[in-house]
Structure 1
């Protein structure tokens, strides 16, 4: 609902066409124009911004992008997180772990050729807005803040106060009905003045009247005057505080408790499942409560069956919770919410498993309210609730008292994201979650989980080209793995340190660390890992030009794969040994080894590998002066590739497990 504000909308529209300082100076504006709507929470500033955006969006072919820059608790949203959200709306992926400057630069680059309208709600300061401001005058930014954004040039705030009396009375009529207002228009105007024309206060007053059809507007006015002012509040907040107190104290005790528990909902966003867990009631009862709160003006409906606590009411609910509930009760409610979220995430992941699997059988045994009918429904729920789920994980870790539940929640969320999107697509979210695991592990001295988190973060750093940062984390993971006595973590860390040095071109250190990792694998008789590490050592020695050592390692890798029964891996290792022999100036030996590799590839039944090795053999024959034989092998390779049945085959180089939080809390 939107009432009044014609003057403000007219002023904002006029500000769009106003000549800026750059235009007056004869220069083209280098950045987007910023329209600022300034006012306190509860003044209707966001509703005004949304109305303006709806009026203007037709002129912006690339649509409207929205970001909220302050969380309900009052904490500013990090610029990096806000920029990622805007990039996601544009369909642009930001690298996992990228810093604030990099993500902001990526956002500006993405908007450089677009004509988009940005709505930045509840900006905490000018720095937040400036970091997200497009370097494109064809874009327009509508910012909402408490006051002026000092530091951004050429911005004139449109200050939002209370509604005029006519608009305020119209707002009351939507709740109380026109009859009660018509029979006592003076009382309605007085009530509007008592609420200082603040839309949030008027909505609560209207909700009170709607719940009491026999009460008059004058009755409400008398009750509102009788509510004492809190002298500790700013004068501008007192009308809303009085309206909230009157409406809240009229609630029955169970409803009042459920309402104040909504202050624990992440991002102020809830659904019946969330309130059910917080209040300890059934999902259907929670839905009835939420609909009742909507009718009373405490909560707003959001798309897709969600509900939102208005930001202006969140502090009042938090105050009531702290005053009326014992800390232990509050902690129990939070624990119930986390446990319910964990179970929903486990169900969300389980529905991706094959029919008849243990996870699906457990899923079938869950209560109906916790089950998803099919994979698409689970994916939709995960997409819809992702911001709240990530916020829930952050809040659980920040709380510090529920670390076991926090770890279970993060593990379940990591698995659900990986199952529905794949680890590569979900990497930005997983990076933040692994960082939270690291925070908990360091706080609790959990060395095994600290090692796992560091390994996962380092893998993501390495995957986005931040190799020095990855190397530092791999070394820290090695120390943590040693403290935990975890051979998996130490072996994986040593191998990864070698890989980072290899990426940096430091062949000597890479070979040294691969050798250490190999020694551990030999001691533990881990044969698959031995084969892989022999291959890595062979590759590093080849790069360094140490062909004798490289040939020895590739032959050892081939022997290890043969003992394992990995025929394709054996063929690949022989192929690499042939390459080394060629580099070392031994073409006849290279030819014999390559022929042996081709035969093993044929036995493996991997036609793609067989074709690739035939082509390599043809190149070797060309260099040895036998073009006729080379043509025969190329023709055979073309037949293999054109047969349509070439499969992927086995790589022979299994990659280490990633995105896994190793520890006891993993168990569903």
Structure 2
């Protein structure tokens, strides 16, 4: 997803001005497409309002300049759509269809809207349609594999326009007339050649240039390769290249014939590197990827990649770091050559080198965020200079720029099946790096996909401990997005895997999570029971902090069930545990919750005393949010006891504390804020006046 124009069949322009000057020909097609925007659709002709967005289809083979035409059309009409232009690709560089869920997520991200982790395809597509319902936007769907992909992403409003690029018709979508592309007109094709060769070589032999255009069938991608080949050979005549292509006959397409000629003219090392770029995840290449694949230095790889750009074999990507893309039209040709000329063992070794380098870069990317730790600094210094990042910001820029390729690398490594050890290391470091730089919430959508891949490998390799960890992580993400029953199923599966692995931590964590899911579902008895099982496991391991926390969770379940006497006993046990462990902040929070339960139980005087004790501990812990929440609770309690003057003083103190310490929007939700405390109090309505102790 990018705001920068992308020419799928040529070099990416550096900006809008460059794009405007680089576009050639297609005058008739542009005129027809613009007229198609204005023409009345079938619904309008029948007197009905169009229920969905108009779809313009640009159809053509890869290499025909179809994306360049789509981008030029978008540039010309974008000012009519005040809510901007959204772009996504619906096929990978290898032609594999992109899942609709991933495409919808990319479009939602462009609108600065979150996509729930693990959401179903229909839900994400529905959220996208809802987001676009009141907008006037232009949506470019590049390289659509079939009509179903486009149909799922169509806005339900005629105010939006969809420009789809595909290899053929989108049968099933009504009122779509394809603009089918052939070659460029001769004048534009010759001008495209001259941009590489210079005007003099064309002027001295215009017939040879026209002959070369004819051999290339005026296809832009073939002309770019021919122009690049001529640009690197100033002494070669245009007629010589046209003659060489003519002698090859009609074997293959014009693009494949020019590509074979260019590949054959490369030095052996460069030709091998070029072929190995077919292994680059998502078709995205940087000097490190090329270096690892070819087994050469990073600087040599960078020089070779720049040379490929000159030849039209790669296109540079607008990015803070050197990055390139393999044109989709060249990928099948590269793959065919790789399968023919390179041995499977060499290809597997190249993949392993690439994954190993990626693991080290991810480790460095994460470690640069931990420089406050002496051990982390030592690890960073021990890494080779070529994989070290100078600053955390540089590491984050690299991670953000390489995100699609890194996720694709994880998918490919898991699908390979023969590099599971490297795949596990890669996914582990990828999760850690994304959490370190983006945070769990921001990276949740991507993390969900990575954890599913981890689960696939763990099940394939029969690794119950890793299986349990993946299930717990997936369950947590399901729980955060409201899929509580699905989370419960994952937690139960994690419990079975933890027991199989004889892993007490995973087992205890799973039991606690099962309890939390039951609590969310309103089954308070089962919640308390599962929290009790987890507590027994923590006590057996002499984990005081964990046990104190679980006493608190048991108390919450009893509170929701209206069993205030049992809740108070559990809170007292939690308070004792936090006191023994010396966790002042947790001690203060436990006291505040005990005060709440005392109030529910009809003991306002006891609640008042407990609140005062909690305020003092919160002050010692420097927990301003908790201090403010407790001051508000004191105010409410004093009002009920008939002391409005004192209540007003405490309320004023809470407001001053909150004004001095605004809430961090990235901070996790918890009972320490005044709003959270009030919400929990409202949810736990007093179900009885029991004073059982």
Output the TM-score relative to the length of structure 1. Answer: 0.91
Match of 1:433 in 2: 450
Cα separation, 2, equivalents of 1:217 and 1:474:
68
Cα separation, 2, equivalents of 1:598 and 1:66:
53
Contact 1:618 1:631 in 2 (8 A): no
Contact 1:268 1:309 in 2 (8 A): yes
Match of 2:219 in 1: 198
Report SS of the residue matched to 1:292.
Answer: helix
Instruction: Give the gaps of 5 or more residues in structure 1.
Output: 231-236, 656-668
Comparing 556-565 with 497-506, greater Cα deviation is found at: 556-565
Comparing 178-187 with 278-287, greater Cα deviation is found at: 178-187
Cα separation, 1, equivalents of 2:669 and 2:218:
72
Pick one of 240, 246, 261 that aligns with 2:261. Answer: 246
Match of 2:273 in 1: 258
Cα separation, 2, equivalents of 1:50 and 1:148:
19
Task: Give yes or no for the alignment of 1:517 onto 2:549.
Answer: no
Match of 1:33 in 2: 54
Report SS of the residue matched to 2:369.
Answer: coil
Task: Give yes or no for the alignment of 1:181 onto 2:198.
Answer: no
Instruction: Give the gaps of 5 or more residues in structure 2.
Output: 1-21, 673-693
Cα distance, 1:170–1:498 mapped onto 2, change above 3 Å? same
Cα separation, 2, equivalents of 1:401 and 1:333:
13
Q: What whole-Å deviation, never above 9, does each CA across 1:285-338 have from its counterpart, x for those lacking one?
A: 111111211122211122123211111110010111111111111111111111
Task: Give yes or no for the alignment of 1:274 onto 2:289.
Answer: yes
Match of 1:306 in 2: 323
Report SS of the residue matched to 2:508.
Answer: helix
Task: Give yes or no for the alignment of 1:635 onto 2:661.
Answer: no
Cα distance, 1:19–1:394 mapped onto 2, change above 3 Å? same
Match of 1:490 in 2: 507
Output the TM-score relative to the length of structure 2. Answer: 0.88
Pick one of 422, 436, 439 that aligns with 1:419. Answer: 436
Cα separation, 2, equivalents of 1:603 and 1:71:
56
Cα separation, 2, equivalents of 1:603 and 1:284:
56
Cα separation, 2, equivalents of 1:17 and 1:653:
54
Cα separation, 2, equivalents of 1:602 and 1:290:
60
State the shift of 1:339 in Å: 1.5
Pick one of 561, 567, 572 that aligns with 1:555. Answer: 572
Contact 1:615 1:634 in 2 (8 A): no
Cα separation, 1, equivalents of 2:88 and 2:612:
61
Count of aligned pairs: 646
Pick one of 186, 189, 202 that aligns with 1:168. Answer: 189
Task: Give yes or no for the alignment of 1:289 onto 2:304.
Answer: yes
Pick one of 241, 255, 258 that aligns with 1:220. Answer: 241
State the shift of 1:578 in Å: 4.1
Cα distance, 1:169–1:595 mapped onto 2, change above 3 Å? closer
State the shift of 1:593 in Å: 4.9
Cα separation, 1, equivalents of 2:258 and 2:111:
40
Match of 2:675 in 1: none
Match of 2:407 in 1: 390
Match of 1:508 in 2: 525
Contact 2:635 2:650 in 1 (8 A): no
Cα separation, 2, equivalents of 1:652 and 1:301:
43
Cα separation, 1, equivalents of 2:497 and 2:356:
29
State the shift of 1:645 in Å: 7.0
Contact 1:35 1:143 in 2 (8 A): yes
Cα separation, 1, equivalents of 2:483 and 2:421:
31
Pick one of 110, 121, 127 that aligns with 2:131. Answer: 110
Cα separation, 1, equivalents of 2:661 and 2:160:
50
Q: What's the Cα RMSD here?
A: 2.6
Pick one of 581, 584, 593 that aligns with 1:576. Answer: 593
Q: What whole-Å deviation, never above 9, does each CA across 1:578-625 have from its counterpart, x for those lacking one?
A: 4434444455655555565556556656565455445434544554x5
Match of 1:79 in 2: 100
Contact 1:36 1:144 in 2 (8 A): yes
Contact 1:498 1:513 in 2 (8 A): yes
Contact 2:434 2:443 in 1 (8 A): yes
Cα distance, 1:570–1:359 mapped onto 2, change above 3 Å? closer
